[in-house]
Amino acid sequence: MDVSSFSAIRNYTSSRPATEPAAGSGNFGQKIDAAARDFAATLRVAENTAIGAMAGTADTQSLVMALAQTELAVETAVTVRNKVVEAYQEILRMPV
């Protein structure tokens, strides 16, 4: 095992700096758009499952699972919204 200073420097310079974005990561707007689409799809599936349960075509277990997923999605969305509002209020409190 070669542990010379030259190999250490070469490995250090070839590594990706922590400030660079990871390869394949999209921009923030694309990630928000994807999250909103996933949220809407989760709500749509739960709504269709609930309609199916009322019509008698869906079983109770799938209804409960869909409602649990919807509850988790809504709680996540509310938590993200609260964090965004909190960050905005903190920015407004900053002295200029």
What pLDDT digit, counting tens, does each position of 43-85 carry?
999 999 999 999 999 899 999 999 999 999 999 999 999 999 9
For residue 70, give the nearest of 41, 35, 46 by alpha carbon.
46
Domain boundaries, the chain: 25-93
Over residues 4-43, the pLDDT tens digits come to 666 666 666 666 666 666 665 668 888 889 989 999 999 9
**What whole-number percentage of the chain has pLDDT above 90?**
58
Type and span of the H or E element at 95: none
Phi, psi dihedral angles at 94 (to 5 degrees)? -70, 135
**pLDDT, position 32:** 87
